Amino acid sequence: MTQGGRAQAEASAPFTGLLAYPITPLADADALDLDALGRLVDDAVRAGVDGVVVLASSGDGRAFDDAERDQVVRAAREAAGAAPLHVAVSAPSTRQVVRHALAAERAGADGLVLAPFAYAPLVDPEVAGLVRAVADASDLPLCFYNKPLQTGYDVTPELLVELAATTTLRGVKDPAALPSRPDARVDELRTEGVAVGLSGDVALTGDAPLADAWHTGLAALAPAEYVALRRSRAAGVPGPTAEATWLHELARAVGVLRPVSALHALARLLGVRTGPPRGPWLPVPDDGVALLRGVVDRRP
């Protein structure tokens, strides 16, 4: 696809471009801080991200009850304005996933993001049944969030083809790198009507391919740098800029810490009002905060 064709596709297709995954900020006593969330979403949209996804891994969606989830989606919807807003709906049971999907649709979501998981790794027929149940309940486009290290399930290109033909599946989010699969498999996952997106900030800020989309929690905290990085990569600009080098250093620092806790600690260093995430996540220890602060202080 040419860069012009890619830009046109990203303007019209769901789950394309740079998709930012904000944390869910918390105030005292673990209460939601919806004003802080609204500012994160607004800042990301103003910086030029192509969409926002709430309540996924970065947003620690498993930590919130139905009423809190509804507040998060509605606050993000208001802050996002006309920008696409997608909602992660993962849960341990199909009934919960469908409930989350319907609630997200009522609250104004433009799309759904689903990582299938249970207390044992699922198999293809179970995953297909879950996706079909969501598609039967909601007309919103669905992005398959593939997390093999965390769920023990790795989606196959063959299943994506089947689901794209029979359900509302319109995107896939795949790791840009895994220990067993160090290179992104964008071409393998190419399926008509499905946007192939990549995740993993260390790889994305390194040498991961552009793909149809980048899905990233860090883009919600450093949106200007991430937007500039993706645009320069799309334009074929040679060599890393100072901002891109800093962003890669930041991704590496976050990557050696506990993921959600690190994003909350980084958010505070960047001026976002939030406490640590809810347990069982633990706050980042002092040496980890110092590591992040050292990188933040070198921001170009």
Residues that are catalytic: 145, 173
Instruction: For residue 140, give Cα distances in angstroms to 68, 121, 153, 229, 262.
Output: 21, 26, 24, 30, 32
Q: Are 137 and 98 in contact (CB under 8 A)?
A: yes
**Maximum alpha-carbon separation in the chain:** 50
- DSSP structural state of residue 277: P
- Distance from C-alpha of 106 to C-alpha of 291, rounded to nearest angstrom: 41
3 state SS of 171: strand
Length of the chain: 300
- Distance from C-alpha of 200 to C-alpha of 204, rounded to nearest angstrom: 6
3 state SS of 51: strand
Instruction: For residue 51, give Cα distances in angstroms to 67, 73, 171, 212.
Output: 23, 14, 13, 13
What's the burial of 157, exposed, middle or buried (CB within 10 Å: 0-12/13-18/19+)? middle
Phi, psi values for residue 25, rounded to 5°? -65, 145
Q: Are 81 and 73 in contact (CB under 8 A)?
A: no
Instruction: For residue 276, give Cα distances in angstroms to 30, 31, 110, 214, 279.
Output: 8, 11, 29, 26, 9
Dihedral angle of Cα 229, 231, 236, 242, to the nearest 10 degrees: -30
